[in-house]
Chains A and B, each alone.
Chain A
Amino acid sequence: MNNSIEKRIDLKAPIPRVWRALTDYREFGDWFRVKLDGPFVPGQVSRGQMTYPGYEHVKWEAVVQKMEHERLFSFTWPHPKSLDKADCPLDYSEEPTTLVEFRLEKTGSGTLLVLTESGFDKLPADRRLEAFQRNDGGWTEQMKNIENYVAHKP
């Protein structure tokens, strides 16, 4: 069964313009309709409040994953059981999350934007494991930095 979403859209705007609309938190907030607290930073939580009419009570919370300049922007975000005002949770830590990826490709007339959202089958338990792996990846990266530093500065 299909458990991901893919959308492809041709935009008549150059890649740098599209990249800015996706990754500048104010521009993103404008078209997505969310008021974000601050800039997107890979590995960090992005917080804010939806401004989309009817969903103003919904909190925005995502973890920025990748920002590969003018190529890929991705984040994970929760899918609360309910978005209704009465029972939309305030704490998303137990909610399942999905991965959202925006990929940009140059076309003759501008930019092809490919959006995918995947991981609808991920349980909160998987997310804990993923967070662990992410931390572990961070450590591996840190170790590499230290090794490089040491190698170049004997």
Chain B
Amino acid sequence: MSRTSHSRVAAKRRTRALVFAALGDPTRLSLVAKLCRAQPRSISQLTKRSKLTRQAITKHLRVLEGAGIVHNVHAGRESLFEFDPQPITEVTEYLGFVSEQWDQALSRLKSFVED
């Protein structure tokens, strides 16, 4: 396995935790909120009306990018960030799956102790 495909596998394996970790920050959540209801935006647009510096916003965008929640796209000479719903949909479904497993297990526990 080449180094690239190996690191891609490692990256994929960690995606779920990365997505949860990326979303566990209020600044990043607000960036996601802005990006998911609008067209792709530039760092300048995202920095506008924010108390944070361009550099700080860039850092948060990179974390979101690392989790696959936003992608950097180019429109002409402009560098824009666009929202990708797929990772959030995936982790939400996963939490739903785990939650469902617990419901079933706890109902088995209930019958077990009440019988």
List the interface of chain A (C-beta within 8 A of B).
Answer: 1-3, 5, 7, 9, 11-13, 17-18, 21-22, 27, 30-33, 79, 81, 94-96, 113, 115, 117, 120-124
CB atoms of B20 and A31 under 8 A apart: no
CB atoms of B108 and A31 under 8 A apart: yes
Known contacts: A11-B113, A117-B102. The answer to whether A3 contacts B13 by CB under 8 A is: no
Known contacts: A7-B103, A31-B109, A81-B13. The answer to whether A13 contacts B18 by CB under 8 A is: no
Q: What separation, in Å, do the CA atoms of A32 and B18 have in the docked complex?
A: 29
CB atoms of A9 and B112 under 8 A apart: no
Query: Which residue in A1, A12, A96 is a CB contact (below 8 Å) of B24?
Result: A1
CB atoms of A21 and B103 under 8 A apart: no
CB atoms of B17 and A11 under 8 A apart: no
Residue ID in chain A nearest B24 by CB atoms: A121
Count class of interface residues, chain B:
20 to 34
Query: Which residue in B91, B99, B103, B106 is a CB contact (below 8 Å) of A113?
Result: B106
CB atoms of A30 and B112 under 8 A apart: yes
